[in-house]
Amino acid sequence: MADSGFRGPKEIFRAFQWSLKGLKATYQAEASFRMEIYLCIILIPLAIWLAQTPIELILLIGSCLLVLLIEIINSAIEAIVDLVCGEERHELAGRAKDMGSAAVFMAQMIVLLVWGVICYQNLLV
């Protein structure tokens, strides 16, 4: 059936349900995602306390959510690689997994940079 492009309330609700299903699957399957969720539970209230402007709040919380986003994408890449390759080791499969891991690392560096600069500016200067 061709997609008409129209998204009514039923389609939007279904898409929301699939998103929740994906979040649940990531949470259940990935220990690193669970750890990052726990860190967000600590950091988001801290961000509300630390931020002095709405932009700072967006940067502090947004950087944390970025890590979760990249972790979900990395987990999806790993799942596809595992499905296609199984136990077989392939150079390209390993490269794909390493690149996904590097993306998560880069997102974590963004968190350190944003939080470091804002903490320095708001607490030490």
Measured between alpha carbons, how far is 55 from 51 in angstroms, rounded to an integer? 8
In the residue annotation, 87 being an active-site residue is answered as no
Tokens 């994906």 belong to residue? 22
**Which residue in the list 11, 71, 78, 88 is annotated as catalytic?**
71
Helix, coil or strand: residue 75 = helix
Determine whether 32 is exposed, middle or buried from the number of CB atoms within 10 Å of its CB (0-12, 13-18, 19+).
middle
Q: What is the set of active-site residues? A: 71
